[in-house]
Amino acid sequence: MARLTLAFRSPGENFDKWQAAFAALMPDLSFVHWRDVSDPGAVDAVMCWLPPEGWLASFPKLRLVQSLGAGVDHVLKDGRYPAHVPLVRLVDPAMTRAMTDFVTFQVMRLHLGEPTYRRQQQVGLWEPHVPLRTVDRRVGILGLGELGTATAAALVRIGFDVAGWSRTPKDLPQVTCFSGEAGFAPFLARSDILVCLLPLTSATEGILSAATFAQMPQGAGLINVGRGGHLVEADLLAALDSGQLSEAVLDVFQTEPLPEAHPFWTHSRIVVTPHVAAVTNPATASLVVADNLRRLQAGEGWPDRVDLASGY
């Protein structure tokens, strides 16, 4: 079989780790850093995060674009994306596990009132609050895909009353499933803690807005691990000020890194994490990419191929 050439481009720059992983897994692979590509016509596949506009279109024989993340909005931002080239998302069981751990931890924090006790400690206030039982806490998950489904299952195992919302109808064990526009309002009305695990598309941009918060129970919590573009930042600040929302955990932002002077950094009801809910790890993700490259060579399809029309 012909030797494959895979070009790598990521602002994260962990080329060496990927190189070591591929050397062990696919010794025949020609794995090149984008700066070292001498012949663009020899590149079969690209693995990237946030490629600059037009860069992908510069490879005349490109047959696969592998996203370095589960989300692909960073690739589809490129208005010159070569539409004939398959785009494949990264679906790595280790990342799925990381996301379920992160969300479970944050849901637990909000459920147990940890932010309240931190604020009370700062002013030396001894004030116990009667905890809700997990079965009485309604968690809503926006997006029931790879990550949303696994996260819902983890929260069900703990005992939460879990619902989810997706574009197409779903039937998941012990998860109350809502879908489409008609399912949005009833889903929000029973979300004491709302978790955003949607992809960023033209249909989901700005979905975490004042109109959405107004339909949630007063004092609800928000966990955004989808994308910063889902959240209307000013609406969140207003909802926290008015008490419509009580707490927010934000892992993703309109601008990353979050600018130094941004009000989220110092807000007493916002927890900021630096886009770490599920970090791509070359040690495990290389196994997934190797299989996707094998599929390319074998002429097989990819289960995680992105539908360019829907954008995820």
Binding residues for ligand NDP (CB under 6 A): 69-71, 99, 143-148, 165-168, 197-201, 203-204, 225-227, 251-252, 275, 277-278, 312
Residue 143 in the binding site for ligand OXD (CB under 6 A): no
Q: Give residues with Cβ within 8 angstroms of 77, minimum separation 6.
A: 50, 53
What is the contact mask toward ligand OXD in residues 244 to 283, using x (rule: CB under 6 A)? ----------------------------------x-x---
Residue 115 in the binding site for ligand OXD (CB under 6 A): no
Cβ pair 221, 250 in contact under 8 A: no
**CA 166 remoteness from chain centre:** 15
Instruction: Give the dihedral sign, CA 39/44/47/48.
Output: positive
Residue 5 or 199 with smaller CB distance to ligand NDP? 199
* SS3 call for 6: strand
Residue 290 buriedness (CB in 10 A; 0-12 / 13-18 / 19+): middle
Distances (CA, A) of 223 to 163, 256, 262: 15, 17, 18
What backbone phi and psi angles, to 5 degrees, belong to 166?
A: -140, 175
Q: Name the binder of 148 from ligand NDP, ligand OXD, none, CB < 5-8 A by kind.
A: ligand NDP
CB of 62 to ligand OXD, least distance (A): 21
Residue 51 in the binding site for ligand OXD (CB under 6 A): no
Stretch that binds ligand OXD, among 65-73, 118-126, 155-163, 164-172 (CB under 6 A): 65-73
Residue 69 in the binding site for ligand OXD (CB under 6 A): yes
List the catalytic residues.
Answer: 227, 275
Strand-pairing partners, residue 245, are 220
Choice from 21, 47, 64, 71 touching ligand OXD (CB under 6 A): 71
Q: Which residues would be at the binding site for ligand OXD (CB under 6 A)?
A: 69-71, 278, 280
